[in-house]
Structure 1
Amino acid sequence: MPFKFISNSERFLKIIFGVSLFVVLVMGGVAYRYIKELSNSINDVQHNYQVHIELEKMLSALKDAESGKRGFIISQDSTFLLPLLSSNQQIENSLEELKKLTLKDPQQQENIAELKEKIDKSLAIFEKTLQLSIANNPDSREFIAGFREGRQTMNSVRFKINEMTAHENDVLGLAKEKSVRRLSNAPMLLYYVLILSLLILLLTYLQISKNLKVLKVKNELLETFKKSTTQSEVISKHGNWIWHVEEDVYEYSDNLFRLLGEEPQSFEPNLENYLSFVHPDDVEKLSEHVSQMIEHEDLPFIHYRIIQKNGSIKHFKAYAKILVDADGYKRLLGTTADITDEIENYRLIEKRNLELERSNKELSSFNYVASHDLQEPLRKIQTFLSRLEDKEKDNLSNSGKLYIERIKASSSRMRSLIDDLLQFSRTNKSEEALEDSNINILIEAAKTDLAEIIADKKARIIVDDIPSMRAIPFQIKQLFLNLLSNSLKYSRENTSPFITVSYSKTNASDVPKVSHTKYNVFHTITIMDKGIGFDQDYAEKIFVLFNRLHNKNEYSGTGIGLSICKKIVENHNGYIIAKGEVGVGATFTIYLPIT
């Protein structure tokens, strides 16, 4: 989530940066626009000024020509004609300049054409009156008429020039009004744009400040994680390394150097230096794996040995996986672990397995001895007691007969003990494979073995229909044989035993005293009797080997039967729970997993 936040913040900052850049460009464009308009306004004023200058020059030249003509007429002095000669050229130059200056103004072009006609006419009249004056005929009607016409023409020239000047003033006024209107809005617009830019910059600053705080927290977390990772490497005896694929450069963590028996970063991390630590017998194998890693950019689990400088041989296991970032940059992230302890433990387990195998063989030998060598002298004892009782019974005293009975009881108990021990040792065996078993048939087989006792005690045994399940048939039969025998043995006097065997299914969460199991549902078989029962405080002790709640003189038995039951149930990954109440009865509940 934090990385996503930072990513969104980066995107947000990019957007803000883009908006800020756009605003700056807009401000630049607006400023350029108004500067351009201001420059155009200055150019318009300068242009108008030049038109005025040329018009004034033209009008001045005409005035000079008219003054020279009048001075000559009055004084007949030819020096007064000099301005007239120079003004003609000045007028022509001014007209040409005005044409250039007003090329984009059609109205002024028309005015210039009219002005030129009037000027030409005025100059022609100047020339006519000048010739009459030279002919000494200034009083003639023709001269007076020409003089008056010249004055009228001159006035029309002045009017036209004034008209052109007024037109230029109007054009300049409109341009000025337009420029003033535009330029008057410029400061306010620039002010608003500046305020907006400052707000955007402030928002960007706040976001950057917020991101810096987040990055600071993340850096602290990363630093903590780095230290934790370093500690984890030391504790778990592993080191990390990175291969930068494009640059063909390696990085080793500090603990990887320690695993090699070296100080952190004590040599350049590369393949050549690393292979110098590898066991000579494993160099070729590891080199081949590295070549495949370089070719396929992948490294599956590999095992090899290294030799530290102190001569210690360590077993290593390495694994690596390629990582490609958003820019397509490839890195191979690897982990190398020291599994020397695991190898040594594995060898120790193998050794102990061999010892266990020898113990099992010795136990098998004990079973053979118990079933043959121990029972053989016991059978002889019982045989000789039988013969002694048959042939010498009448010759024995009462004490002798009592001793014989005690010897018979002890030998019988000895046989039962040997048989039960053999039975318990068989339940320790796990060679028997689970198979689909009809539990109802196995219960009936157990009842058949107990048929004589059932008949003697007139017992009633009610059994539910139990589905088939995966089990070891021989052990399951022995389980029910022991439990039913236990219920028959501890029945109340002068009361026919009543035993029920019921079936149900139980979820793992409802199985008492079970917190963790890989099974979800269990077969539940309950054996309930109405015998003498037992104190609930002894519910766990009755499953302990050789543990008895009653004196051997009260009830026969060796204290092994319920231990056998518990062992059989555990062989099936199940649980057995006892519940009793003195004088009421006992209940044994068996939970066998449904597989």
Structure 2
Amino acid sequence: MIKTLSNNISFLRAMLYISALVILVVGALTYRSVTEVTKSSEMITHTYKVNVELEQILSYLKDAETGQRGYIITNDSVFLEPYLSARNRINNSFAELKVLTKNTPQLKSKLIDVNTLINKRLIAFKTSYRSLPKKDIEDPNFKSNFRNGKTLMDSIRDQIKGVIKLQNNLLNKRSDEYRSDLMATPLLLFSLLLCSLILIYLAYNSIYKNIKRLKIANEELEIFKESTNQSEIVSKHGSWTWDQNNDVFTFSDNLYRLLGEQPQSFEPTIQNFMQYVHPEDVEQLSQQVENMKKNVELPYIYYRVVHKNGNIKHLKAYGKSIINDEEETVLLGTTADITDEIISFRALEERNLELERNNQELSSFNYVASHDLQEPLRKIQTFLSRLEDEEAEKLSDRGTRYIDRIQNAATRMRLLIDDLLQFSRSNKADKVFEESNINLLLEAAKQDLAEVISAEDAVITSDAFPSMTVIPFQIQQLFVNLLGNAIKYKSEKRSPVINITHQVIEADNDPQITKPTKPFYHKITFTDNGIGFDNEYADQIFVLFSRLHNKDEYSGTGIGLSICKKIIENHKGHIIAKGKPSIGATFIIYLPID
């Protein structure tokens, strides 16, 4: 959105520049057009004035000629008045023409010629009427002078007509230029104004679209601002900025709330902020602020603030510098209230201490279970054995049964203590993973169960295992428990047959693996042909002390499979049980591959 608005602003700026240029061009052309039209008008007026003055001169000469003829015919001096005044009038007209033709050398030269002929004609007028004998128009000298005057008059008339014709040609040319200017100028002005209107429309349309975008952007910003405020309130953090060039801070509303104040209740300065900092943290925080101003960066810092009501809050702050569009460096920071985290951390520390005490007590219990409990149990079994050997004949049948029951109870108690010790060892934190030969661990488990395997005539088959990174003694214990469990719950109709398989699988391709931690796993499957179980108890059999059968039917404490699950959890793997009553059980183990 911001990039689009920036591009539109550049477009508008270009449109304004072009529109201003077009307006200047229109103004210049208008001025030029008006100037040309004015000049053409002045030239036309000038031409008309020249022609009028020439026509006036010719008229004066005609009047003089008419007066002369009247005088000749009547011999009345009244008719000489036009002739006598013609000289002054003609001089006045030539004076006007001299002004009009000062910038036209060619016309000025022709007028000089005309003026010379006029002077000659006026002299001829004078000579003609003075040479006239009294009422004798047939006098040869008179006729000669009169004809000479006619010739001069014709020359003058021809010269003036030539000048007038030249002026008329010039007038026509200027009239054509004038009409051309009058026609071209409006068309050009209209075209330029049309272009200006188009540019103004484009600019207006762009401005209108920008206003709509800005309105949408403002609405989005308002929503974002409100959501940010709410987010700051919910997440208990506030934001702030520092303008390095002007050394000006701005605080968000929730930053004030973190200090226990109302939004914008004081001027956002470091000095005002420091008033809320815990006295023990002021010096350290001041030094960190100075480093922030020097480096324009603020790594994570921790300090406390004290509200006016005395509440102490733990805060965490962080800042990172950016450069804005005006090439100014601004530090953007965030401050979070981590009081709840501190309280939770301290509670966790207390729980860890309590857990450590419990572990120590558990270790003490293990010692008691492995030494203090087993010692009296051994004595009970020893004295029972002596009693059977030395006093058996003296005991009644009921006494013998009591002794047998005591012996069975002591045996079960020993098994329970041994299983508890094994389960306790599977929970110990000192688990050392080693690159191990799983085939050797399986063989060691078989050796541990060699007597029972032989007694039950059990058949065990297995695939070859690759080396794995495991806790060796726990994996061996796992194999012992699973093999012992399969043999214990054998079918009365057939000898135990246990098949162990291995394969490497991809976690994504096996739906049994939930929330995999590694992409590949070792899949080890134990399958037996024992009594099996109903699948609805598949999860229950891994619960500590859980038994699906009566203790009189099958010996055991219900801890073996719990130990198996704990071992697999220690390896961050999975164990799944499946069964079919009277057919057999299957245990599937998934161990992650690093």
- TM-score w.r.t. length of structure 1: 0.91
The 1:383–1:370 alpha-carbon spacing in structure 2 relative to 1, beyond 3 Å, is same
> Deviations for 1:389-415, whole angstroms, at most 9, x for unmatched residues?
222223333322222222111111101
Candidates 103, 121, 124, aligned match of 2:120: 124
The answer to whether structure 1 residue 102 and structure 2 residue 104 are counterparts is yes
Distance 1:377 1:385, change over 3 A: same
Structure 1: which amino acid aligns with 2:115?
I
Q: Say whether 1:250 aligns with 2:244.
A: no
Listed one character per residue, the Cα deviations across residues 107-135 of structure 1 (whole Å, up to 9, x for unaligned) are xx0x5434423431442353255256546
Q: C-alpha deviations, 1:318-342, integer Å up to 9, x for none? A: 1111121222133211111111111
- Correspondence for 2:485: 486
- Consecutive unaligned residues of structure 1, counting only runs of 5 or more, are 104-108
1:370 is displaced (CA, Å) by: 0.3
AA partner of residue 122 (structure 2): F
- Higher mean C-alpha displacement, 483-492 vs 127-136: 127-136
Distance 2:490 2:177 in 1: 124
One-letter identity of the residue aligned with 1:116: I
Contact 1:51 1:101 in 2 (8 A): no
Secondary structure at 1:314 match in 2: strand
How far does residue 458 in structure 1 lie from its aligned partner after superposition? 2.2
Runs of 5+ in structure 2 lacking a partner? none
| Aligned counterparts of 1:190 and 1:86: Cα–Cα separation in 2 | 51
1:132-190 CA-partner distances (Å, limit 9, x unpaired): 65466686534432332222222222222222222222222233234324433554555
Name the residue aligned to 1:307.
306
Task: Report the Cα offset of residue 251 of structure 1.
Answer: 1.0
Residues 446, 480 of structure 2: 8 Å contact kept: yes
Q: Secondary structure at the match of 1:523?
A: strand
Distance in 2 between residues matched to 1:94 and 1:19, nearest whole Å: 50
2:233 corresponding residue in structure 1: 234
- Deviation of 1:416 after TM superposition, in Å, equals 0.6
User: CA–CA distance in 1 between the matches of 2:86 and 2:309?
Assistant: 122
1-side partners of 2:226 and 2:212: how far apart?
A: 21
CA distance in 2, matches of 1:520, 1:341: 37
Match of 2:88 among 61, 80, 86: 86
After alignment, is 164-173 or 264-273 more displaced?
A: 164-173
CA deviation map 1:240-277 (0-9, x unaligned): 11112222111111111111111211111101111111
Structure-1 separation of matches of 2:581 and 2:414: 31
- 1:223 aligned partner: 222
Of 585-594 and 208-217, more deviation after overlay is shown by: 208-217
Please state whether the residue corresponding to 1:414 is helix, strand or coil: helix
Whether the 8 Å CA contact 1:23–1:193 is kept in 2: the answer is: yes
2:270 partner amino acid: L
Pairing 1:113–2:109 present: yes
Partner Cα separation in structure 2 for residue 193 and residue 284 of structure 1: 71
CA distance in 2, matches of 1:466, 1:303: 53
1:118 and 1:153 in contact (8 A); partners too: no
Distance 1:582 1:256 in 2: 66
| CA apart distance, 1:41 | 2.6
Corresponding residue for residue 376 of structure 1: 375
Distance 1:124 1:189, change over 3 A: closer
Q: Residue 67 of structure 1: CA displacement?
A: 6.3
Q: How many residues align?
A: 588
Residues 430 and 571 in structure 1, CA contact (< 8 A), matched pair in contact too: no
Aligned to 1:398: 397
CA gap of 1:515–1:212, structure 2 versus 1, over 3 A, is farther
Q: Which secondary structure state, in structure 2, belongs to the residue aligned with residue 315 of structure 1?
A: strand
Report the Cα distance in structure 2 between the residues aligned to 1:480 and 1:32, rounded to whole angstroms: 108
1:202 CA displacement: 4.1
| Of 581-590 and 466-475, the range deviating more from structure 2 | 466-475
Q: Which residue of 2 aligns with 1:449?
A: 448
Answer whether contact 1:440 1:465 (CA < 8 A) is retained: yes
SS at match of 2:502: strand
List per-residue Cα deviations over 1:71-118 (Å, max 9, x = no partner): 887556897775355356436524533532425xxxxx0x54344234
Amino acid at match of 1:423: Q
Alignment RMSD (CA, Å): 2.7
Structure 1 residues 210 and 555: CA distance shift in structure 2, 3 A: same
Q: Structure 2 vs 1, CA of residues 262 and 415 (structure 1 numbering), >3 Å: closer, same or farther?
A: same
Which whole-Å CA distance do the structure 1 matches of 2:526 and 2:335 have between them? 56
1:353 positional shift: 0.7
SS of the residue aligned with 1:579?
strand
Paired residues of 1:525 and 1:589 also in contact (CA < 8 A): yes
Structure 2: distance between partners of 1:22 and 1:128: 68
The CA distance in 1 between the partners of 2:93 and 2:35, in whole Å, is 35
> How far is the alpha carbon of 1:22 from its aligned partner?
4.8
The DSSP-based 3-state class of the residue aligned with 2:345 is helix
Alignment-derived partner of residue 280 in structure 2: 281
What is the DSSP-based 3-state SS (H/G/I as helix, E as strand, rest coil) of the residue aligned with 1:278?
coil
Residue aligning to 1:357: 356
Instruction: State the secondary structure of the residue aligned to 2:518.
Output: coil
Q: 1:72 to 1:291 in 2, by over 3 A?
A: farther
- Measure how far apart 1:502 and its partner are: 1.4
| Distance (whole Å) between structure 2 residues aligned to residue 449 and residue 194 of structure 1 | 107
Matches within 5 A, 1:163-562: 163-187=162-186, 190-191=189-190, 193-195=192-194, 197-512=196-511, 514-562=513-561
- With over 3 angstroms needed to count, the CA separation of the structure-2 counterparts of 1:89 and 1:32, relative to structure 1, is closer
SS of the residue 1:280 aligns to: coil
> Partner letter of residue 506 of structure 2?
N
Task: Give the direction of change, closer, same or farther, for the CA distance of 1:196–1:125 in structure 2 (3 Å limit).
Answer: closer
Quick check: 1:68–1:83 contact (8 Å CA) kept in 2?
no
Q: Percent identity?
A: 50
CA displacement at 1:479 relative to structure 2: 1.2
Are the aligned partners of 2:384 and 2:407 in contact in 1 as well (CA < 8 Å)?
A: yes
Range with bigger deviation, 562-571 or 390-399: 390-399
User: Does 532-541 or 41-50 show the bigger shift?
Assistant: 41-50
The DSSP-based 3-state class of the residue aligned with 2:101 is: helix
Deviates more, 1:390-399 or 1:3-12: 3-12
Q: In the aligned structure 1, how far is the partner of 2:361 from the partner of 2:57?
A: 143
Cα distance between partner residues in 2 of 1:164 and 1:128: 23
Note if contact 2:127-2:145 (Cα within 8 Å) is conserved in structure 1.
Answer: no
1:177-234 deviation digits (Å, cap 9, x = unpaired): 3432443355455555555544554444444333333332322222222121111111
What is the distance in 1 between the residues matched to 2:192 and 2:120?
64
1:18 positional shift: 4.6
Q: Which amino acid letter does the alignment assign opposite residue 88 of structure 2?
A: S
The 10-residue stretch of structure 1 (191-200 or 36-45) with the greater mean CA deviation from structure 2: 191-200
Indicate the larger mover: 199-208 or 288-297.
199-208
> What is the CA-CA distance between 1:354 and the residue it aligns to?
0.7
Going from structure 1 to structure 2, the CA distance change for 1:298 and 1:53 (only over 3 Å counts) comes to farther
Between 133-142 and 368-377, the greater mean CA deviation after superposition: 133-142
Amino acid at match of 2:116: D
Provide the rounded CA distance (Å) in 2 between the counterparts of 1:235 and 1:326: 32
The answer for the alignment partner of 1:106 in structure 2 is none
2:570 is the counterpart of 1:571: yes
Q: CA deviation at 1:579?
A: 0.7
Quick one: distance in 2 between partners of 1:122 and 1:219?
90
- Residue 438 to residue 193, structure 1, CA distance change in 2 (3 Å): same
Deviation per residue, 1:1-21 (Å, 9 max, x gap)? x44444444444445445544
- CA gap of 1:456–1:468, structure 2 versus 1, over 3 A, is same
Q: Tell me, yes or no, if the aligned pair for 2:102 and 2:108 is still in contact at 8 Å.
A: no
Q: Answer yes or no: is the 8 Å Cα contact 2:37–2:181 preserved in 1.
A: no
Q: Deviations over 1:276-303 (max 9, x none)?
A: 1112221121111111211221111111
274-283 or 147-156, larger mean C-alpha shift: 147-156
Letter in 1 for 2:119: L
